Amino acid sequence: MKLRRVTSKAELTRFIELPYRLYRDDPVWIPPLRTEQRKQVDRRRNPMLDHCSVELFLAEDRSKTVGRIAAFVDHLAVRYWGEPVGLFGSFECIDDRAASRLLLEAAQEWLRGQGMRSMRGPWSFASQEWGLVVEGFDLPPVIMAPHNPPWYNDHLLAFGLGKAKDLLVYVADTGKGYRIPARYLEITESVQRRYGITVRPVNTKRLEEEIAVLVEVANRSIARNWGFYPATEAEGRALARDIKPILDPDLVLIAEGPDGKPIGFAITLPDINVLLRGLDGRLLPFGWWRLLTGRGRLTQYRMWAVGVVPEYQARAVDAILYRRTHEVLTARGDVRVEANYILEDNVRMTNAMRNLGLEQIRRYRVYEMPI
């Protein structure tokens, strides 16, 4: 068993390709598009890397790749947090403690050499992809969500990493009888009239401008959330480009106050993972056609992000956004919607999920340890 730093194109390809081999027989895993995975580690195409120092590692056993890990310092995050917290991600490994320890030690030593004093992860080079699955292994991952075997948790704990934070996933399935509670309809209608709040869909003709507005509102809305640091303008532009092909404008909602200024937003994405199953991460020869023709028939969605500026957080704006999203989707028939990545100690959000009658179905965990 030996460790190898990724320094060549061939090694980078092995790094990217490893999950497709490890999960080949996993009936739950849905292979993400290889082009998207390669883009995440490409400095020319991923603006998050503009403020990161990164090292990639492979674990090999007799020349066969058996694991991988990324260690990185997000300098923007470190400055915002005011703490020397290094990050690790892209962790994939066979069920072998020696291999996982080799990888985690490499990340630990590299981060220590960068002046970091703690190691946190798994953390992705893409927004909203944090943590390991620790509950809900039998469910396929939705768009932009991780998947992993149960033993990863055991490997991280054995190395000395401990729980830093859990993120929860809830579901509303109208095919199984879910309906938004009547009291929410009454409350939100009353609040809208009282405070002069309106909700509109995003204008796709001005998508980059609209995404810039969403980024600004998001940066204000969740500034106090654990793990948050501000997104840059370049990341906002990249987000606009990335989600444009799958964007459903009726499900990207902007709430505005009586003066017409944005005060909140909700982004719900079609779960194109349903269409990616069986493509092995490739659009050619027929995957592009499946995506092109199948999106309009999708009945699964991910509520990817919700935010409300601080001065309106006690005025049920999030409930108004949930209601409008529900109205749009239920007009299309029976649908299943996952609300992902809700911090376990975000009482306002977890209470909202329970009051809305949503069921908790999955739990992700982010780990941390001093180094």
Q: What pLDDT is recorded for position 118?
A: 98
Write out pLDDT tens, residues 154-213: 999 999 999 999 999 999 999 999 999 988 888 899 989 999 999 999 998 888 888 888
Bigger pLDDT: 297 vs 4: 4
pLDDT of the residue at 54: 98
Q: Which domains does the chain have, with CATH numbers?
A: 2-167 (3.40.630.30), 172-362 (3.40.630.30)
Q: What is the pLDDT of residues 208-255, one digit of tens each?
A: 888 888 889 988 988 888 988 888 888 888 887 888 888 899 999 999
In whole angstroms, what is the distance from residue 99 CA to residue 2 CA?
Answer: 8
Whole-number Å distance between alpha carbons of 371 and 359: 37
The pLDDT of residue 208: 82
* Coil/strand/helix, residue 5: strand
Q: What mean pLDDT is predicted for residues 37-42?
A: 94
Instruction: Give the ranges where the chain is alpha helix by DSSP (H).
Output: 9-22, 34-40, 75-81, 97-113, 151-159, 182-195, 207-221, 233-243, 273-276, 287-294, 317-330, 347-355
- Above pLDDT 90, what percent of the chain? 75
Does residue 128 have a pLDDT over 80? no
pLDDT, average across residues 308-332:
92
Closest Cα to residue 127, out of 217, 16, 238? 238
Would you say residue 23 has pLDDT above 90? yes
Tell me the average pLDDT of the chain: 93
Judge if the upstream peptide bond of residue 150 is cis by omega within 30 degrees of 0.
no
Q: What is the pLDDT of residues 84-114, one digit of tens each?
A: 999 999 999 999 999 999 999 999 999 999 9
Q: What is the pLDDT of residues 253-280, one digit of tens each?
A: 999 999 999 999 999 999 999 999 989 9
pLDDT of residue 327: 94
Average pLDDT of span 288-308 = 89
Distance between CA atoms of residues 192 and 188, nearest Å: 6
Q: Say yes or no to pLDDT of 127 above 70.
A: no
Please report the pLDDT score of residue 197 as a whole number. Answer: 95
Dist. CA 212–CA 234, nearest whole Å: 9
The reported pLDDT for the residue numbered 184 is 86
Confidence band (pLDDT; 50, 70, 90) for 314? confident
C-alpha to C-alpha distance for 302 and 336, rounded to whole angstroms? 9
Reported as type and span, the H/E element at residue 167 is: strand 162-173
pLDDT mean over 38-51: 94
Q: pLDDT at position 40, please?
A: 93
